[in-house]
Amino acid sequence: MSANVDMNQRPDYDQVIQDIADYVLDTKVASDEAYTTARNCLMDTLGCGLLALRFPECTKHLGPMVEGTVVPNGARVPGTQFRLDPVKAAWDIGCIVRWLDFNDTWLAAEWGHPSDNLGGILAVADYLSQVNVSQGKAPLLMRDVLQAMIKAHEIQGVMALENSFNRVGLCHVLLVRLATTAVVTKMLGGDREQIMAAVSHSWVDGSSLRTYRHAPNAGSRKSWAAGDATSRGVRLADIAMRGEMGIPGVLTAPQWGFYDVSFSQTNKDLKLKEEGDREFKFQREYGDYVMENILFKISFPAEFHSQTACEAAVVLHEQVKDRIDDIEKIVIHTHESAIRIISKDGPLANPADRDHCLQYMTAVPLIFGSLVAEHYEDEFHEAHPQIDVLREKMEILEEPRYSEEYHDPEKRSIANALQVFFNDGSTTEKVEIEYPLGHKRRREEGIPVLEAKFKANLATRFPGARCDQIFNLCKDQEALENTPVQKFMDLFVI
């Protein structure tokens, strides 16, 4: 036999894939804290989607591919009249919830927004529930949606704890596609083989590049990329449920597998056991850790690494608002990830560029005392040239303790400190904030603000009585969990 011929012996599924399938199929989520947090996540995520409907650059993407398409038992897109097939509905829901960069966040070696998976979960749940009712079967309940959210959060978040995809230039939305694929295949009735097959196709898809998230190419694709990923997860689940075979060695296959093709850049943060070892590392088994520790983006529609800097800027606003022209310099002490991802000099080309710029997101609340989505728009930026003047006066310094505690599983801080220096030699206090309002350590303080945010977002789309109906249902854990999914979605049709 020639030495150049590969042995064609089909392997077992990679262990990473088997572990995900076993978790999705066999783990019963029993944590009351996880379900309560998932309920708050559901409120916040849908509210962010409703608020995004105010922006034409978002809504231009919504609706059927072919105008006038009628889909029996079509999944609804909250805040609209669209009834779409589950794949496109997942795209649209994922797009609106991510558009303003205002939904929950997970930060570790990799970061991302696990609630992006709600696009696929909610679209499929609504469709399946309507089909079941039309066939005289029991509908899915919102508890099923919450459990799917907990598991999607867990898959995406645990994978992100030790594995830095951004370090090798890959976009974190591949973890949205992965998590959506796994939980949606289970929702569709998939068995272990079908879930593994679907998940293997998720990995073989590879990943989009992070190019559109970074200067000088940052742009609006980052606002719909997660919708695209969760939609792709639904499509792959459907393909697997139709009997399509999987690719069992998709991660580990020499030369052709994900590790060799897409995860091959060695660096210290990947914690390689030896040079060339590229396999994923796991800090913990799958459970409900991620949902219980998720970071809510409550105060500002801004990239999460900047949240505490924005909070500090609001604190200093009263001290600097009448002395903007007298500022000599502004010093921000921050963590390494913020410097690598969102610290930018030079012109900012569009809203998506601005909401991922640490300096811009700090300058606006220093000057105005607040930061809202409209502050990123071209008209606002052009009307306030002092924002860029302040950006040029900022010094960004890494604080090693912040970087260390950012990765500490017992802390997971996202710290920033801000101090303003004036031309006459005077300074403000140095304001240090280690944990943002949406952090688990500030839940008691943060949840009332999250609920107020949800109320305000509902009011952008629905009349008062409907707002009250939705809010009161979402506040009641037991009532929400026992609500049929299609009845819940009825409330969000305009």
Residue recorded with tokens 């913990």: 284
Identity of residue 187: M
Instruction: Give pairs for 421-426: CB < 8 Å, separation 24+.
Output: 421/327, 421/328, 421/329, 421/330, 421/331, 422/323, 422/326, 422/327, 422/328, 423/326, 423/327, 423/328, 424/326
Q: How many CB atoms lie within 10 A of CB 374?
A: 12
Of 443, 442, 39, 106, the closest CA to residue 283 belongs to 106
Cα–Cα distance for residue pair 135/46, rounded to 1 Å: 29
Q: What's the pLDDT score for residue 277?
A: 58
Which two structure tokens, joined as six digits, stand for 206?
């590879």
Cα–Cα distance for residue pair 191/21, rounded to 1 Å: 9
Q: What's the pLDDT score for residue 407?
A: 86
Q: Which residues contact 214 (CB under 8 A, 6 or more apart)?
A: 341
Cα–Cα distance for residue pair 108/161, rounded to 1 Å: 5
What H or E segment, with its residue span, contains residue 52? helix 32-52
Q: Is the peptide bond preceding residue 436 cis, with omega within 30 degrees of 0?
A: no
Contact between 215 and 360 (Cβ < 8 Å): no
Q: What's the pLDDT score for residue 275?
A: 43
Q: What's the pLDDT score for residue 322?
A: 96
Contact between 349 and 321 (Cβ < 8 Å): no
Q: How many CB atoms lie within 10 A of CB 257?
A: 19
Residue recorded with tokens 């979402």: 474
Cα–Cα distance for residue pair 338/196, rounded to 1 Å: 35
State the burial class of residue 369 (Cβ atoms within 10 Å of its Cβ: 0-12, 13-18, 19+).
middle
Cα–Cα distance for residue pair 237/43, rounded to 1 Å: 26
pTM for this predicted structure = 0.87
Q: What's the pLDDT score for residue 267?
A: 42
DSSP 53-111: TT-HHHHTT-S-SSTT---TTPEE-TTS--EE-HHHHHHHHHHHHHTTS-S-BEESSSE
Q: One digit per residue, pLDDT tens: the chain, 494 residues?
A: 444 546 678 899 999 999 999 999 999 999 999 999 999 999 999 999 999 999 999 999 999 999 999 999 999 999 999 999 999 999 999 999 999 989 999 988 898 999 999 999 999 999 999 999 999 999 999 999 999 999 999 999 999 999 999 989 999 999 999 999 999 999 999 999 999 999 999 999 988 999 999 888 989 999 999 999 999 999 999 999 999 999 999 999 999 999 999 997 544 444 444 444 579 999 999 999 999 999 998 989 888 899 999 999 999 999 999 999 999 999 999 999 999 989 999 999 999 899 999 999 999 999 999 999 999 999 999 999 999 999 999 999 999 999 999 988 888 899 999 999 999 999 999 999 999 998 999 999 999 999 999 999 999 999 999 999 999 999 999 999 999 999 999 999 99
Of 249, 183, 165, the closest CA to residue 20 belongs to 183
Of 191, 202, 197, the closest CA to residue 231 belongs to 202
The Cβ-side half-sphere exposure at 425, using a 13 Å CA radius, reads 0
Instruction: Give pairs for 486-491: CB < 8 Å, separation 24+.
Output: 486/126, 486/129, 486/130, 486/133, 486/139, 487/139, 488/142, 489/75, 489/76, 489/78, 489/122, 489/126, 490/76, 491/466
What backbone torsions phi and psi does residue 84 show, to the nearest 5 degrees?
-125, 165
Cα–Cα distance for residue pair 97/358, rounded to 1 Å: 22
Helix 192-204 and helix 173-187: axis angle, to 10°?
160
Of 328, 359, 390, 316, the closest CA to residue 215 belongs to 359
Q: How many CB atoms lie within 10 A of CB 26?
A: 8
CA atoms 266, 268, 272, 278: torsion sign: negative
